[in-house]
A and B are shown apart, each in its own frame.
Chain A
Amino acid sequence: MRTSIKENLDTSAQFETLRDIIVGKQEFAKEEEFALFKEEVFQKLNALEQMLNDKERFESKIVESKERVIDVVSPKMGKIIRASVNAQIEKINEKIREASTQLSDLLSPRKILKKLRGKDKVYYSDYPSIVQLFVIESDTGLMFGKFEKEQLNDPDMMTGLLTSIKTFAESSLSIPDAEVGLIDYGDYFIKLFNYGTYYFALVFNGKQNNDFENFINEEIDAFANQYTHQLISPNRMSMDIDVLLKQYFDKTCEKLEKK
């Protein structure tokens, strides 16, 4: 329990000391004058005590002078505040980075294509498998023949578009003997094997690796060597080439499945 100021000043010596502090040393002619003066001092002390104990008034005083408080406090608090603010900013940055990564993934052309096609298969981890193989005349983009495990698009349109992309890239870059080798096509990759007047376009899914690359290079080279005459003949028929491709590359697919 709190004690009043009056109770704490009941000794004469203490009161005299207090009087000296507040009003300085004074001489009183009569005992009555001193009593009046003492009463006046107690009234002032009580008023001061009341003011200090008046929480609302004290708070309002602080609020009124808050800017001055900040002026005084902020230099000392600055270091603490800056550390706290930096920590919060770092947390926000981390959130932004996470959101940015998610957004990039969401806007990835590959993933958009997958969504549009309604497919959500994992293909990167798969060993490559053949989807289509076209033999295409280099200059015209016309199809000599096709082998299809799965039909993705009209083959004639496909070979025309591939050739236009190839022509565009090779003529735009102006690099001597530069040829397009690999095209990223949605869920698939298209690998081009350039020969003289024709080229092969292999559409495959899965992640390309050295083993697959060596294997498929050998297979296509072997086919091209074995059937060169049929491929470059002006009287070739695409249906005949289709048969040759099927006979040969069905076996290739079987070999790939065993890998």
Chain B
Amino acid sequence: MREIRKKVVLFGNVGVGKSSISRKYVSNEFSETYMSSLGLSIEKKVIELANVSVILMIWDLAGEIFESTQFQGYIKGAHGIVGIFDSSRPYTHDLLSKFLDDSIDCPHIIVGNKVDLITSEAKNELKKKNVEYFTSAKTGEGLDEAFRGIIDKMISEEVYV
């Protein structure tokens, strides 16, 4: 089966749950390697599609790295970016959304994590801000959908034929 590799970067403010999402999604299939001095961890997830094996290399950036000199180097060449915010702290969405719209030209999605902590009304408000994906790293809700969403944006439709 054909293999394709993609680099996906997760980023967002401190405490929004990036690492929890990454760990839950990958399920420690491959050993997670967090390097605090570098400000990131890298994980690997293999997704078998119809006739292709997608190897996702997930670069989970620490919240603090956003303002560092390494940030541009870490997102360089990314095939997809998953911006994560805390649904229970709406201001974390506004910062993220502005940055993605202004600075990122590769496929990207915005994910509202900790959806288990908000009401359906609050969720509807966030949907009005074009938030497409909601997850709960605690329950696992929405994780597969979110990552499938970024994969779909990264890979052209003919791959699945």
Of the candidates B35, B39, B40, B79, which one forms a contact with A140 in the assembled complex, judged by CB atoms under 8 Å apart?
A: B79
The distance from the CB of A247 to the nearest CB of chain B, in whole angstroms, is 20
A174 partner residues in chain B, CB cutoff 8 A: 69
A239 partner residues in chain B, CB cutoff 8 A: 3
B77 CB–A CB distance under 8 Å: yes
The distance from the CB of B44 to the nearest CB of chain A, in whole angstroms, is 5
Q: Are B77 and A171 in contact (CB under 8 A)?
A: no
Q: Are A157 and B30 in contact (CB under 8 A)?
A: yes
* Alpha-carbon distance A81/B139, docked complex (angstroms): 76
Q: What does the 1/0 interface line of A137-180 toward B look like (CB < 8 Å)?
A: 11111110000000000101100110011011011101000000
Q: Are B30 and A154 in contact (CB under 8 A)?
A: yes
Q: Give the interface size class of chain B.
A: 20 to 34
* Alpha-carbon distance A142/B57, docked complex (angstroms): 8
Closest to B78 in A: A140
Q: Give the interface size class of chain A.
A: 20 to 34
With A140-B7, A140-B79, A141-B7: A167-B44 Cβ-Cβ less than 8 Å: no
Chain B contacts with A in 139-158, Cβ cutoff 8 A: none
A237 CB–B CB distance under 8 Å: yes
Q: Are B2 and A237 in contact (CB under 8 A)?
A: yes
B55 CB–A CB distance under 8 Å: yes
B72 CB–A CB distance under 8 Å: yes
Q: Are A164 and B74 in contact (CB under 8 A)?
A: yes
Closest to A168 in B: B38
Chain A residues near B (Cβ < 8 Å): 137-143, 154, 156-157, 160-161, 164-165, 167-168, 170-172, 174, 237-239
Q: Are A161 and B33 in contact (CB under 8 A)?
A: yes
Q: Are B7 and A142 in contact (CB under 8 A)?
A: yes
Given contacts A139-B76, A157-B30, A157-B31, could you give 4 more A-B pairs where the C-beta distance is less than 8 Å? A140-B7, A143-B5, A165-B35, A170-B73
Chain B residues near A (Cβ < 8 Å): 2-3, 5-7, 30-31, 33, 35, 38-40, 42, 44, 55, 57, 59, 69-70, 72-74, 76-79
With A140-B7, A157-B31, A157-B33: A168-B57 Cβ-Cβ less than 8 Å: no
A170 partner residues in chain B, CB cutoff 8 A: 73
Q: Are B38 and A156 in contact (CB under 8 A)?
A: no
A sample of 14 cross-chain residue pairs with beta-carbon separation below 8 angstroms, ordered by A number, consists of: A137-B77, A139-B77, A140-B79, A141-B7, A156-B44, A156-B55, A160-B57, A160-B59, A161-B35, A164-B35, A165-B35, A170-B73, A171-B69, A237-B2
B44 partner residues in chain A, CB cutoff 8 A: 154, 156-157, 160
Of the candidates B5, B40, B77, B78, which one forms a contact with A238 in the assembled complex, judged by CB atoms under 8 Å apart?
A: B5
* Alpha-carbon distance A155/B107, docked complex (angstroms): 26
A138 partner residues in chain B, CB cutoff 8 A: 77
Q: Are B70 and A167 in contact (CB under 8 A)?
A: yes
Q: Are B77 and A140 in contact (CB under 8 A)?
A: yes
Of the candidates B57, B69, B72, which one forms a contact with A156 in the assembled complex, judged by CB atoms under 8 Å apart?
A: B57
* Alpha-carbon distance A157/B29, docked complex (angstroms): 12
Of the candidates B33, B74, B79, which one forms a contact with A167 in the assembled complex, judged by CB atoms under 8 Å apart?
A: B74
The distance from the CB of B27 to the nearest CB of chain A, in whole angstroms, is 15
Of the candidates A154, A160, A171, which one forms a contact with B73 in the assembled complex, judged by CB atoms under 8 Å apart?
A: A171
Q: Are B70 and A161 in contact (CB under 8 A)?
A: no
A140 partner residues in chain B, CB cutoff 8 A: 5, 7, 57, 76-79
* Alpha-carbon distance A239/B5, docked complex (angstroms): 12
The distance from the CB of A184 to the nearest CB of chain B, in whole angstroms, is 15
Q: Are A165 and B55 in contact (CB under 8 A)?
A: no
Q: Are B59 and A164 in contact (CB under 8 A)?
A: yes
* Alpha-carbon distance A152/B96, docked complex (angstroms): 38
Q: Are A160 and B42 in contact (CB under 8 A)?
A: yes
